[in-house]
A and B are shown apart, each in its own frame.
Chain A
Amino acid sequence: MIRVQAQDFDVGAEMKALGNGNTGIGGMASFVGLVRDMAGGSGDSAMTLEHYPGMTEKLLANIDDEAHQRWPLEASLIIHRYGRLEPGDQIVMVLTASAHRKAALESCAFLIDWLKTQAPFWKLEETPDGANWVEAKASDDDAAAKWAK
């Protein structure tokens, strides 16, 4: 499942809902992305996440399907936020549930690596010198490339 939303989310509540009494699940893996304070603790590094409505949902659903094809997952959930976020705010969450930990951990890493280079989101940082579009990192492409088949 995937959700693209402006509002915050509760990781514990989402995990519980994803499990939904399914006792075939032996483990869940989670990744939660937070807004890091890039302004050295001044708290002055809020950002606005822009996205491409429609394509974002489509891309995330494709990536989610791909994870289910590659690993024996019982359930999964990707939540990605958009809009203005401040340091410490949650941006993204990936949850994966499987009978065994290996599938849960690997598919969780795959999903976050893959969505970082594929899902159409762009970060506009607020800096003392004005708004600044964050540049893509080659290290993110490398992280995603290691999952290429």
Chain B
Amino acid sequence: MKLLYFAWLKQKIGVASEEVTLPDDVGDVAGLVSWLKGRGDNYADALKDDAIIRVAVNQAYAKPATPIAEGDEIALFPPVTGG
């Protein structure tokens, strides 16, 4: 599965994108975020405030219960500030 990070999430985690293989028991967005937090201090720090993390699955906004599967493109980013 491809993960993308943007803005300060990218800076804190230290990469713009990565390929990961999820454990079998991770099947939704909430599970993914919680699994990522356990991957290191950089992830734990970047994702510490769940309320402001936005997640998109295959380029559409997702909710914590949105299911995810191998082959999905998943992006994590802070609230948007365009316009």
Contact = CB atoms under 8 A, between A and B. Distances in A.
Contacts of A124: 7
A29 to B, nearest CB: 16
A97 interface: no
A146 to B, nearest CB: 16
B52 to A, nearest CB: 8
A85 B34 CA distance: 36
Given A120-B56, A122-B77, A122-B78, A52 B6 contact: yes
A51 interface: yes
A140 B80 CA distance: 10
A134 B81 contact: yes
B76 to A, nearest CB: 11
A51 B75 CA distance: 12
A136 B78 contact: yes
Contacts of B7: 50, 122, 124, 133
B3 interface: no
Interface in A53-97: 54-55, 58, 80, 91-92
A136 B83 contact: no
Nearest to A112: B83
Interface residues of B, number: 16
A115 B83 CA distance: 7
Contacts of B78: 122, 133, 136
Nearest to A118: B80
Contact of B82 (A54, A92, A135): A92
Contact of B81 (A54, A92, A136): A136
Contacts of B61: 118
Given A58-B60, A120-B56, A52 B4 contact: yes
11 contacts: A49-B82, A50-B7, A51-B82, A52-B75, A52-B77, A58-B60, A80-B83, A118-B80, A121-B80, A121-B81, A136-B81
